[in-house]
Amino acid sequence: MTDPADPGWLARLPAWAQVGAGAQLGFLGVVLVFSWLSSALGVGGYALLPLFVWHYGAKSGVAVITVYFLFQNLSKVALLWRHIDFGFAARLVAWAVPGAVLGGALLVALPARHFQRMLGAGMLALLLLPRLLPRRQAPSPRLRRLGVAGFALAYGVASGVLGSGNALKGPLLTSMGVLKERYVGTYALTSLALNVPKLAVYHQGGVASAALLAACWPLLLVSLAGTYLGKRALRHIPESWFEKVTTAVFVVSALSMLVFPP
């Protein structure tokens, strides 16, 4: 139990408890909006990374947003279970999990001083890479399998280092014809499979303490509410419109971390 007479008790509270009620509600409100958008179209949550970095610090922010993704992906999988492409999800996860463990180890080892700039640069790279690759004729089945494996491994590494590699996974899923409810459910299941090993690496490396992870319970309520609202809106929001808006948000978010480091 904390003692208000002890001047150091406030500093020992989790970051979310040290801010005022208004700031905390505002933070959770923004997360709720993006949880709704993410559940409606399967993308959007990654744009919250700068907010989590500001609220919790660079490395801890990546760990806490991974907890948020864990809660959100559990909600999506529960609601969209019947639409998931389990075969494709299994192939993707088989290559992505080793990459996620490697990426998580890199996050733990990287110096914290320039980590926020590296997050911003990584976000831009993930956004630009799929758009800069030249479009070619449909590859052979063998080459297609190798391409999926390579993208899945890169997705895993990016997910471990940046908290999410979905800017790579999203274009991969759509290129395979995985859309709408099938897209959102498969997207969530493959992300969920990476959340647990990443959190284990973060915790083992001292990036995410047990106290910090336990303090994330409000994100569970927010993710449940956002997922429910997003599922109801799924059929009414055009994907093309939201993809453009989300891409713009990603770019602004990445540039903000590059230009305004802590």
For the chain, the domains span 20-259
Mean pLDDT lowest among 12-21, 118-127, 231-240 = 12-21
Question: pLDDT band at 9, cuts 50/70/90?
Answer: very low
Q: Is the pLDDT of residue 82 over 80?
A: yes
For the residues 164-182, what does the mean pLDDT come to?
72
Q: What is the pLDDT of residue 16?
A: 45
Q: What is the pLDDT of residue 27?
A: 83
Q: What DSSP string describes the chain? A: ---TTSTTTTTTS-HHHHS-HHHHHHHHHHHHHHHHHHHHHS--GGGGHHHHHHHH-HHHHHHHHHHHHHHHHHHHHHHSGGG--HHHHHHHHHHHHHHHHHHHHHHHHS-STTHHHHHHHHHHHHHHHHHHSPP-SPPPHHHHHHHHHHHHHHHHHHHHHHS--HHHHHHHHHHTT--HHHHHHHHHHHHHHHHHHHHHHHHHTTSS-HHHHHTTHHHHHHHHHHHHHHHHHTTTS-HHHHHHHHHHHHHHHHHHHHHS--
Q: What is the pLDDT of residue 141?
A: 65
Residue with the larger pLDDT of the pair 88 and 136: 88
Q: What is the pLDDT of residue 252?
A: 74
Q: What would the pLDDT profile of 11-42 be if each residue is shown by its tens digit?
A: 444 444 455 566 778 888 888 887 777 776 65
Residue with the larger pLDDT of the pair 24 and 185: 185
Residue with the larger pLDDT of the pair 170 and 104: 104
Q: What would the pLDDT profile of 67-78 be if each residue is shown by its tens digit?
A: 988 988 898 898
Q: What is the pLDDT of residue 86?
A: 92
Q: Is the pLDDT of residue 221 over 80?
A: yes
For the residues 176-190, what does the mean pLDDT come to?
82
